Amino acid sequence: MDNDGKKKCTVRFEPSGLGIQVPVGTVLLDAAHKAGIYLNSICGGDGYCGKCKVTIDEGQFQSRPTTLLTPQEIRENVVLACQTKVLSDMRATVPKSHALEASQILMDTDAGRFSELAGDVRAAIFKFDPLVQKIFVEMSPPTVHDHTADHERLYLAIRQKIDAPIMQTGFRVLQRLSRLLQSCNYKATVTIGRRGRTTEVIEVEPGDRSKRNFAVAVDLGTTTVVAHLLDLTNATTLDREATYNSQINFGEDYIRRIIYAEENNAFDEMQSRIVQDVNSLIVTLAARQKVDLHEITTVICAGNTAMIHFLLNLDPRRIRREPYVASAGFVPPIRAAEVGIQINRRGLLYCLPGVAAYVGSDIVAGVLTTRIFTRKGIYLFADIGTNGEVVLGNRDWMVCASSSAGPAFEGSGVKHGMRAGAGAIEKVAILDGGLVELKTIGDTPPVGICGSGLLDTLAELFTNGIIDRTGRFKTDGQPGLTRGEEGWQFQLAPAGNGHHEIVITQADIDNLVRSKAGVFAAIRVLMESTQTRPEDLDAVYLAGGFGNFLNVRQAVTIGMLPDVPQEKIQFVGNTSIAGAKTVLLSRKALETAEKIAQSMTYFDLMSHPGYMDEFTRARFLPHTDLSLFPSVTQRATHRV
Amino acid sequence: MDNDGKKKCTVRFEPSGLGIQVPVGTVLLDAAHKAGIYLNSICGGDGYCGKCKVTIDEGQFQSRPTTLLTPQEIRENVVLACQTKVLSDMRATVPKSHALEASQILMDTDAGRFSELAGDVRAAIFKFDPLVQKIFVEMSPPTVHDHTADHERLYLAIRQKIDAPIMQTGFRVLQRLSRLLQSCNYKATVTIGRRGRTTEVIEVEPGDRSKRNFAVAVDLGTTTVVAHLLDLTNATTLDREATYNSQINFGEDYIRRIIYAEENNAFDEMQSRIVQDVNSLIVTLAARQKVDLHEITTVICAGNTAMIHFLLNLDPRRIRREPYVASAGFVPPIRAAEVGIQINRRGLLYCLPGVAAYVGSDIVAGVLTTRIFTRKGIYLFADIGTNGEVVLGNRDWMVCASSSAGPAFEGSGVKHGMRAGAGAIEKVAILDGGLVELKTIGDTPPVGICGSGLLDTLAELFTNGIIDRTGRFKTDGQPGLTRGEEGWQFQLAPAGNGHHEIVITQADIDNLVRSKAGVFAAIRVLMESTQTRPEDLDAVYLAGGFGNFLNVRQAVTIGMLPDVPQEKIQFVGNTSIAGAKTVLLSRKALETAEKIAQSMTYFDLMSHPGYMDEFTRARFLPHTDLSLFPSVTQRATHRV
């Protein structure tokens, strides 16, 4: 019995064995969240996505009726966790398809596979001048003939080493300064951080500790949070790690999460979730690299606008409703401790600047990384994540837009979709007769399909004539097609040694087509508005967590990217973290990022008169207007 | 009984009636401090100044033997509070000569009498541009066609009104910003503060509150703390108040206080005392002028280096010992709340920059106020407080020094000395036959003698031949001389209607001569070092809390200031607070103050080879070398 006099019962989740005590009547999805178990849930618990299936092994429960379970599932005690109340002690099994319990997450592969452009870009255009530095200064102690005060003495010493016309010292540092300098005979290590054009003395330590200065760069994705640990003394990346964004329990896209937070006044919890994710990444990296948390002086984040708002607990409500504005696009550096990030107590948290409610700092990082802002000609950048953001331009102008067509290419909203982790199918080829060739990440038995695998699958189904231009299965005896519980489906891998059958369903294809249509429509709006023809494009950059073996050609085949020669398309991986690292390592790059964010013109697609038409036209494979995809038409013709 | 099992007893002090419970064995001076009673104590409780006399009316005590009490006093139960332990419940009377219990302090007269040059100076050379401003901004709310984020929207609106290329927003303000702007339909009042070249958004409030912006300027004197309340919207001084520095209980000069704090690890208490003084002034001013504390956005302080260190709890220990350096001469603006000053929770505390351990920001304020730094020719500035600081120079060069010759002209170390408050003798003329003409502040019966009265007295005793050139009484039957308990003394006022006899003793004269000698020796060192002759001086500015009717001629007569024509000497009052106000009202003035502090060359008199000789030579009236004071010699000759 708890304080309210409610009876409690214990719910244990298999196979992790994690358990939790909850009052009788608790919704099973909430119990799972409290136990720290990840369950897929796109709709955030509204009962219409059908993703949060679990099997009740023991115990009493009460479920609302749903059409999202098959009779077979109902017989096997499979329930939707969000529609089920716990009535007694219970044992429930989380199907492996969720594959996402915290304990099972092994994301280093994922984190490691992203391209890192930071190095090149930095070398090419930015001077190594990190946002936070440690400087060893040796001052001569004061004498009766040299009565400069300690504080000014320190400034003089710092200014002999670096350019710092405007300086500021934290009050607590100032209070301790004099005793500290005396204790180390005026040989001290100064940690300085850049805030705008002000140089702040963050910390003064005795002796030479200048060789121990570390930072963490973070890509705050809606689905995945990636962190890299850097040595700021030599600009090297020491390690990388990733984890699922544990806000996922409140909805798979950020609009859902904003609604959830608003309805439940859960903004603080949203913040604490993402901060916890960041902290756990930092702790993991620090432990592995034998770095003391105190030696981590900087955290830098890039992410979409909503994620930055959640992290800082800024009001995100009008991101999802008119007039669709952010509380802040530019965020000043603050102490990481102010939001609960556990690094050096006085260490700084920087966020890259964003452009608008739907074009965040991850996109600015992408522009920085791909150097569009320095180039002549015309360049296209598309970042396919939970949303699809698109930038078009060059050093003179840049336009951008965001398509909210859904996270299908991140593996969400797809029956066997998953992130690019171990066991994900990342490469698919359909041979004659419906035979399928697969490659999985880590070459393990397949667990699901990640972005590059989904792209391949859609393109291969189309070019092999298994689906038609509307994306419907041609059910006239195509090889590989079977009827599953949800209708027709194409089998990529049969059930086998330790893994279940992996299929792609009609609903999956519809989701994928909708996603690609959203991206392409956004591209079209930008190109039409700037009178850019496909042949004007000097290069197309595709970013996202697809998987390493992305066949960029396939992105044209399905009509997601405009029809340009394959050699003009470059897969650039996670440019969000690459850009964050560039900024971390060069103050000039931060200023540049701010200029980029300021100079980009944002097209709001929701209010754009042409967008819906473009979207509708793009819901064909590759497009309603085949003249836009001559190379695809040519190949398809050739094949048939 | 308290926790230690020690018996407690109650000590009540008359005439205030304030009482306190203390353990048996407590030193009476400490009991007085705890009860909030001010007792003179120059030596800080070491038992050699003999100032802390009280009369025990009832109760048992134990006193150490002392030669500082007369047999008569011992018979009347007069004791030195610092040498007396409380053994039982007790009633003690504090003699009126202390005259300094908190409840009796009426310092508005004192505070009001200081000249205010700020207005002129400001009008002449500085633009009105206060350090903290409130700006009413009316923004158009965002629409789908104008999706600028709230934070950037606010910056745009601010930049339409003021010049603010580098801006910063406090994190808490940023977190609340969006909801707040929505609540007031984007019509808001922004409080902005200048930190170096950065403009900080301190607060955002709904609606138009721009007409309510107040600040307090503080002169942190060793003896007296003076505060002025200003309306920042129109640069007017609304009110003024002063109080004794309650650190006095720990020693009358700051060296004593540093020693006390060091020996008793009482730095925190030192800070809390001065902060309490400042807070009580602020509360008094705010209540009288019906200003909400929240509406006070700024506090600005000038004071000697030790006082600024005490206020901020910076380490002051090496101010008093080799190598005589400050922890900080320049202090960045901080939140007033960080040191416990109770204004707007996010309001800023500025301290004017100081030059060296013994030349503080009060002197920089003096230079700013007298405009020496803008002038051709050569100017001399002397600020006579608890120490005597001296500046010589012009717009091309400035040298400065500090004489620690003691606070006699502040009324300390003088039997009937007192600050320039109600009842203080501020003007003295000795007529033929030893008749004395007096003027008191407020024209009340005399209570004691303030600085200007002491200057007059010394000069009149000398010019009337009552003392000789060494300052000794001529005991050959001079009128007015009597023998008191301490030897020969000159009676300024007999005991009378409600007031005691007021005299000047040989010890008093010795202290005054030592003080003036210290100041003049400092002046001589600076003038010799820069080869400046008296006739090169274009003006001499004399600053300090003397009293309004200062006869500057007398400062030459006694040999404190060089012998220049009277019209070249100007009494400029409290330039410390005047300078603080100038800086408060003009950002440019703060930058100027910083340049002044940086450009002044400090002469350390302790290590200067010529200083002791100059000091010894200056201990005659007016000087050993009469040729330095031709006008005095002439008048004296004429008179005799």
Q: For the stretch A25-63, what's the b/e string if a residue is b when 16 or more beta carbons lie within 10 angstroms of its beta carbon?
A: ebbbbbbbbebebbbbbbbbbebebbbbbbebeebebeb
Separation of alpha carbons B423 and B562, rounded Å: 31
pLDDT at A637: 55
Asked if B198 has any chain A CB less than 8 Å from its own CB, the reply is yes
DSSP B592-637: HHHHHHHHPEEE-GGG-TTHHHHHHHTTSSS-S-GGG-HHHHHHHH
Sequence-distant (6+) residues with CB within 8 A of B555 are B455, B542, B561, B569
> pLDDT tens for residues A144-168?
888 899 999 999 999 999 999 999 9
Helix (H, G, I), strand (E, B) or coil at B347: coil
Tell me how close the Cα of A168 comes to any Cα of chain B, in angstroms. Answer: 6
pLDDT at A41: 57
Yes or no: say if A434 and A457 are a contact pair by the CB < 8 Å rule.
no
Q: For the stretch A393-432, what's the b/e string if a residue is b when 16 or more beta carbons lie within 10 angstroms of its beta carbon?
A: beeeebbbbbbbbbbbbbbbbbbbbbbbbbbbbbbbebee
Tell me how close the Cα of A198 comes to any Cα of chain B, in angstroms. Answer: 8
Q: Which of A141, A178, A330 sits opposite B152 (nearest CB)?
A: A330
Asked if B601 has any chain A CB less than 8 Å from its own CB, the reply is no
Q: Say yes or no for a CB contact (<8 Å) between A315 and B179.
A: yes
- By C-alpha distance, the chain B residue nearest A267 is B175
Q: Which of A141, A149, A179 sits opposite B326 (nearest CB)?
A: A149
Tell me how close the Cα of B152 comes to any Cα of chain A, in angstroms. Answer: 7
Among A320, A330, A390, A383, smallest CA distance to A357 is for A320
pLDDT at A124: 52
Tell me how close the Cα of B593 comes to any Cα of chain A, in angstroms. Answer: 15
Preceding amide of B323 cis, omega within 30: yes
Q: Which of B196, B325, B357 sits opposite A168 (nearest CB)?
A: B196
- By C-alpha distance, the chain A residue nearest B147 is A325
Asked if A330 has any chain B CB less than 8 Å from its own CB, the reply is yes
Q: What ipTM was predicted for this assembly?
A: 0.79
pLDDT at A144: 83
Separation of alpha carbons B30 and B51, rounded Å: 14
Gyration radius of chain A over CA positions: 26
- By C-alpha distance, the chain A residue nearest B359 is A147
Q: What is the bridge-based pairing of β-strands A296-303 and A214-220?
A: parallel
Phi first, then psi: give them for residue B616, nearest 5 degrees.
Answer: -60, -45
Q: Which of A141, A175, A606 sits opposite B312 (nearest CB)?
A: A175
Q: Say yes or no for a CB contact (<8 Å) between A142 and B323.
A: yes
- By C-alpha distance, the chain A residue nearest B313 is A175
Query: Is the pLDDT assigned to residue A30 strictly greater than 90?
Result: no
Yes or no: say if B353 and B365 are a contact pair by the CB < 8 Å rule.
no
Tell me how close the Cα of A326 comes to any Cα of chain B, in angstroms. Answer: 5
Among A26, A74, A24, A22, smallest CA distance to A53 is for A74
Asked if A424 has any chain B CB less than 8 Å from its own CB, the reply is no
How many CB pairs below 8 A link A and B?
A: 164
Helix (H, G, I), strand (E, B) or coil at A244: strand
pLDDT at B565: 95
Q: Which residues of A touch B267 (CB under 8 A)?
A: none
CB contacts under 8 A, B 136-165 vs A, are 141-152
Among B229, B227, B231, smallest CA distance to B133 is for B231
Interface-testing mutation among B312, B325, B400, B603, with chain A (most A C-beta atoms within 10 A): B325
Helix (H, G, I), strand (E, B) or coil at B149: coil
Q: Environment class of residue A570 by beta-carbon count within 10 Å: exposed (0-12), middle (13-18) or buried (19+)? A: middle
A339: which DSSP letter?
G
Helix (H, G, I), strand (E, B) or coil at A238: strand
Interface-testing mutation among B145, B152, B359, with chain A (most A C-beta atoms within 10 A): B152
Among A229, A215, A271, smallest CA distance to A111 is for A229
Yes or no: say if A393 and A424 are a contact pair by the CB < 8 Å rule.
no
DSSP B488-519: EEEEEE-SBTTB--EEEEHHHHHHHHHHHHHH
Yes or no: say if A338 and A349 are a contact pair by the CB < 8 Å rule.
yes
> pLDDT tens for residues B287-315?
999 999 999 999 999 999 999 999 999 99
Q: Say yes or no for a CB contact (<8 Å) between A196 and B168.
A: yes
Q: Which amino acid makes up residue A26?
A: T
- Tell me the average pLDDT of chain A: 88
Query: Is the pLDDT assigned to residue A43 strictly greater than 80?
Result: no
Helix (H, G, I), strand (E, B) or coil at A571: strand
Q: Which residues of A touch B607 (CB under 8 A)?
A: 144-145
Q: Say yes or no for a CB contact (<8 Å) between B328 and A177.
A: yes
Q: Say yes or no for a CB contact (<8 Å) between B315 and A606.
A: no
Yes or no: say if B424 and B416 are a contact pair by the CB < 8 Å rule.
no
Q: Say yes or no for a CB contact (<8 Å) between A327 and B166.
A: no
Q: Say yes or no for a CB contact (<8 Å) between A144 and B606.
A: yes
Asked if B321 has any chain A CB less than 8 Å from its own CB, the reply is no
pLDDT at A462: 94
Q: Which of B147, B318, B334 sits opposite A325 (nearest CB)?
A: B147
Show the CA angle centred on residue A246, arms to residues A243 and A247, nearest 5°.
135
Compute the half-sphere exposure of residue B321: CA atoms within 13 Å on the CB side of its CA: 8
Q: Say yes or no for a CB contact (<8 Å) between A604 and B147.
A: yes
Yes or no: say if B215 and B209 are a contact pair by the CB < 8 Å rule.
no
Asked if B323 has any chain A CB less than 8 Å from its own CB, the reply is yes
Torsion sign (Cα): B31, B33, B38, B43: positive
Among B233, B347, B222, B245, smallest CA distance to B297 is for B347
Greatest alpha-carbon span in chain A:
98
Q: What is the bridge-based pairing of β-strands B348-351 and B296-303?
A: parallel
pLDDT at B43: 55
Asked if B169 has any chain A CB less than 8 Å from its own CB, the reply is yes
Q: Give mean pLDDT, residues A460-474.
A: 94
Q: Which residues of A touch B335 (CB under 8 A)?
A: 171
pLDDT at B41: 57
Asked if B606 has any chain A CB less than 8 Å from its own CB, the reply is yes
> pLDDT tens for residues A396-443?
999 999 997 777 887 778 999 887 777 889 999 998 888 899 998 888
Q: Which residues of A touch B166 (CB under 8 A)?
A: 196-198
Band of residue A110 on the pLDDT scale cut at 50, 70, 90: very low
Q: Environment class of residue A268 by beta-carbon count within 10 Å: exposed (0-12), middle (13-18) or buried (19+)? A: exposed
pLDDT at B455: 95
Separation of alpha carbons A435 and B183, rounded Å: 62
Sequence-distant (6+) residues with CB within 8 A of B67 are none
In order of A191, A436, A515, B197, the CA distances from A413 in angstroms are 46, 23, 10, 51
Separation of alpha carbons A395 and A391, rounded Å: 12
Instruction: Give the H/E segment covering residue A481.
Output: strand A481-484
- By C-alpha distance, the chain A residue nearest B149 is A326
pLDDT at B327: 96
Place of tokens 């020719």: B377
Q: What is the pTM of this model?
A: 0.80
Q: Which of B146, B152, B329 sits opposite A149 (nearest CB)?
A: B329
- By C-alpha distance, the chain B residue nearest A179 is B315
Among B188, B217, B227, B193, smallest CA distance to B204 is for B188
Q: Say yes or no for a CB contact (<8 Å) between A177 and B327.
A: yes
Tell me how close the Cα of A211 comes to any Cα of chain B, in angstroms. Answer: 27
pLDDT at A118: 38
Q: Which of A143, A197, A607 sits opposite B144 (nearest CB)?
A: A607
Q: Say yes or no for a CB contact (<8 Å) between B175 and A322.
A: no
Helix axis angle, A305-312 to A267-288, nearest 10° = 90
Sequence-distant (6+) residues with CB within 8 A of B604 are A144, A147, B324, B356, B358, B401
Q: Say yes or no for a CB contact (<8 Å) between B357 and A147.
A: yes
Q: Which of B147, B166, B175 sits opposite A314 (nearest CB)?
A: B175
Q: Give mean pLDDT, residues A195-216.
A: 96
Asked if A360 has any chain B CB less than 8 Å from its own CB, the reply is no
Tell me how close the Cα of A335 comes to any Cα of chain B, in angstroms. Answer: 9
> pLDDT tens for residues B268-289?
999 999 999 999 999 999 999 9
Sheet holding B8-14, edge to edge: B19-23, B8-14, B90-93, B53-58, B78-80
- DSSP H helix total and E strand total for chain A: 17, 29
Separation of alpha carbons A118 and A215, rounded Å: 15
Q: How much of chain A exceeds pLDDT 70, in percent?
A: 91
Q: Which residues of A touch B312 (CB under 8 A)?
A: 171, 174-175
Q: Say yes or no for a CB contact (<8 Å) between B327 and A149.
A: yes
pLDDT at B205: 97
Q: What is the mean pLDDT of each run of 10 residues along chain B (640 residues)?
A: 70 83 90 72 61 88 80 85 91 69 30 36 68 97 91 96 93 96 97 94 97 97 91 91 87 91 95 95 93 97 97 96 93 96 96 95 94 94 91 97 83 83 89 88 87 94 94 86 90 84 94 95 97 96 81 94 94 90 93 95 90 95 95 67
pLDDT at A31: 87
Asked if B196 has any chain A CB less than 8 Å from its own CB, the reply is yes
Q: Say yes or no for a CB contact (<8 Å) between B150 and A328.
A: yes
